[in-house]
Chain A
């Protein structure tokens, strides 16, 4: 890296010492530059439109890469157009002359003529403006389009469509049913709904077992943790990362209490208090899933989550859970 930086620095300084090629101020060349600017701006507008297209069609593969490429190329083209514009078409000549006194209106007129002549390298101002407008519209649309993803502000009902309902069996990573007796304290487990897609945001669960005497669940959730086994959505309510950290005290009187922690921004949830946030940027508790133990001793869901699963935005946060857990 050091060598690379030295090389880059050397390149820049050498580049400065060399005399830049002087543009010959002939008419046809300006014409060519003007055409180049128009083409560049139109292409930039096109790339902006392409970004909106890629954004709207989620079915294409490598969507993220296409989005980045189209927006990057669009901005690069605008930049190139501006560079060409400033280098070739804007008049940078400086001419110094004594300002004539008011007594010589003829001379003043002459200067005004001179000023008017400068900056008249643009021959097709209208077309240039149109191209600029196209670029602005295209790139502007590309910048505004992502606002469409700010979410369903009006209805959050679809967020309760989860694979979990009463009687759904919990299985481990290998698809084996989880027996309640196999769940030990001092550790954590990942679980999924039996026979449902694991890619769905509401599928993965994190399971912990606490001493039932330590539980401080809300009154309505008294029966949700049979034998002290608690199940929460594994998706952090802040930015949607997997809540992959569990800390458990070795010596409870001194050590910090048990907590589920998200590795992305350290949102920390208290399982004993129904997933309440005790630290970090998460704005609402980790959704809890009510559990029950069936006749075979396996864990099953006893309903749906206590709140919407996944990352938050204003539409989710402002609404209460209001979940029909049946």
Chain B
């Protein structure tokens, strides 16, 4: 017993350290020390230099070459140019927590937003100032029609996001659910096409149609479950499995009845 004590203490210590490490944010945000004292554009530029430039390059030119370029904080990253993406893409990526990535090879998924609201506004303004690009779109779900939205959603979005916006999979990537997205974020994503998502221009989906799509997604956040239980709203597969489970129990019950011995 005595011989085991040291390894156990070491193990517990290691676990405690691992726990503390896990509790830390995935990546730190470098902030200017006098954040409240600087103007919005200055703050944006400083935050960009400290948190984005290692992958997106100086002044948003992107790092496209394979040459190992060591950026801020020693991060070696490659990333697309941000010139011309406008406030639209910057607002989407920052408010959903897609960016910053803790590792340049990571996939952008929704996570905890590490910047404050003022910091996000500053960064968005900075990215928008790099080159002319689309601004944050305005959506008005109240002006849209849910039934038209359902039709359009089925045609353009449901292939990946499922008919009730629960998300799913595409080869090599996860398709996020849209339940947490605000109307503005949905519109931004449709126009920007983040990560592997196709982008839809106004020629494909007009602003009025986009209003309807957003109205449908809002409606789908609280679907009417006529059966009483939505089973995750991810379609016929779980429904079929539940049906099979109930049918299986019924069949076993039937077998018990059939196999019951008749007392002569």
* B-binding residues in A (CB < 8 A): 1, 4-5, 8, 11-12, 15-16, 19-20, 22-23, 83, 86-87, 92-93, 173, 182, 184, 186-190, 242, 244-251, 253-256, 259, 261, 263, 266, 268, 279-280
Contact = CB atoms under 8 A, between A and B. Distances in A.
Interface string B35-47: 0000000000000
Nearest to A249: B196
Given A19-B263, A190-B155, A279-B171, A184 B195 contact: no
A189 B204 contact: yes
B250 to A, nearest CB: 7
Contact of B193 (A173, A250, A268): A250
Interface stretch (B67-75, B110-118, B252-260): B252-260
A248 B159 CA distance: 14
Nearest to A246: B198
Interface string B242-255: 10001001100100
A22 B257 CA distance: 15
A173 B152 CA distance: 11
A67 B200 CA distance: 43
Contacts of B142: none
B171 A12 contact: no
Contacts of B172: 247, 256
A29 to B, nearest CB: 13
A242 B159 CA distance: 9
8 contacts: A173-B155, A186-B199, A190-B155, A246-B198, A248-B196, A254-B78, A256-B171, A279-B171
B10 to A, nearest CB: 40
A101 B44 CA distance: 108
A251 B62 CA distance: 10
Contact of B173 (A12, A187, A190, A247): A247
B130 interface: no
A87 B262 contact: yes
A188 B203 CA distance: 12
B196 A247 contact: yes
A22 B199 CA distance: 73
B262 A256 contact: no
A187 B155 contact: no
B80 interface: yes
Given A245-B159, A251-B79, A266-B171, A256 B105 contact: no
A253 B78 contact: yes
Nearest to A188: B198
Contacts of B79: 251
A311 to B, nearest CB: 18
Given A23-B262, A244-B159, A255 B196 contact: yes
A182 B262 contact: no
B27 to A, nearest CB: 18
Contact of A255 (B168, B195, B263): B195
A187 B199 contact: yes
Given A187-B199, A256-B173, A263 B263 contact: no
Contact of B201 (A11, A19, A20, A184): A184
Contacts of A246: 198
Given A182-B203, A247-B171, A261-B170, A256 B196 contact: yes
Interface in B220-264: 229, 242, 246, 249-250, 253, 256-258, 260-264
B66, B158, B256, B262 — which one has the most chain A CB atoms within 10 A of its CB?
Answer: B262
B59 interface: no
Given A1-B246, A187-B204, A247-B171, 7 more contacts: A15-B257, A93-B264, A173-B155, A248-B196, A255-B196, A263-B160, A263-B168
A242 B198 CA distance: 17
B194 interface: yes
Nearest to B258: A83
B223 to A, nearest CB: 19
A324 B256 CA distance: 62
B60 to A, nearest CB: 13
Considering residues B170, B229, B256, which has the most beta carbons from chain A within 10 angstroms of its beta carbon? Answer: B170
B182 to A, nearest CB: 21
Contacts of A255: 195-196
A12 B66 CA distance: 69
Interface in B156-194: 158-160, 168-173, 193-194
A268 B195 CA distance: 18
**Can you list the 6 inter-chain pairs with the closest CB atoms, starting with the nearest?**
A244-B159, A247-B196, A187-B198, A251-B80, A268-B171, A256-B172
A136 B94 CA distance: 68
Contact of B171 (A184, A189, A190, A259): A259
Given A245-B160, A247-B173, A247-B196, A12 B260 contact: no
B193 A248 contact: yes
Given A12-B253, A186-B198, A22 B263 contact: yes
